[in-house]
Amino acid sequence: MRLTAKNTTPKERIDLGSIPEPMSGCWLWEGRTVKGYGVFGWDGSPTYAHRFSWTTYVGEIPDGLCVLHRCDNTFCVNPEHLFLGDRPANNKDRHEKGRFARQQGSQHGRSKLTEDEARQIQKSTLPGSELMELYGISKAQVSAIRTRRGWKHL
């Protein structure tokens, strides 16, 4: 039987939705995300992937505690990279790691472009499909940059 999200154990669900990143040891969530965190449906409810990983591999999350990331990668679901903390600890951790302000442009952790490259795309007369190939980004991202829906700070 082929594994699908509907007929898996919790550990299989984590394996199915993530991929190991050998340099950092992170298990990167590849599914749907909301506000930078992996999310999926489990037992009919939306579930944060990092919290699900914690409860699957470590145990219950006591009321009032958050699951924080040692690696500072919100896509990571490796339980060895997670730890528990209350809201003040979560806020302190976020602030110390410089995540208290929204990251823009090349400062964003998943950015594939520099500001200069985004400016070149904005000014380019090449077709979107060529820019997509040239910069290794999607056609939708090319369009967002050109229409200023993306990289608004430039």
What angle do helix axes 128-135 and 139-146 make, rounded to 10 degrees? 110
Q: Which of 119, 24, 105, 6 is nearest to 72 (CA)?
A: 24
Query: What is the reported pTM?
Result: 0.60
Are 11 and 72 contained in the same domain?
yes
Are 10 and 63 contained in the same domain?
yes
45, exposed or middle or buried, with CB in 10 Å at 0-12, 13-18, 19+?
exposed
Are 72 and 22 contained in the same domain?
yes
Q: What total of structural domains would you count in the chain?
A: 2
In the numeric block, which tokens belong to residue 117?
């490259």
**153 assigned to some structural domain:** no
* Below-70 pLDDT ranges, the chain: 1-6, 99-104, 106-110
Are 31 and 83 contained in the same domain?
yes
Domain that holds residue 13: 5-96
Are 110 and 86 contained in the same domain?
no
Write out pLDDT tens, residues 48-85: 999 999 999 999 999 999 999 999 899 999 999 999 99
**75 assigned to some structural domain:** yes
Are 16 and 63 contained in the same domain?
yes
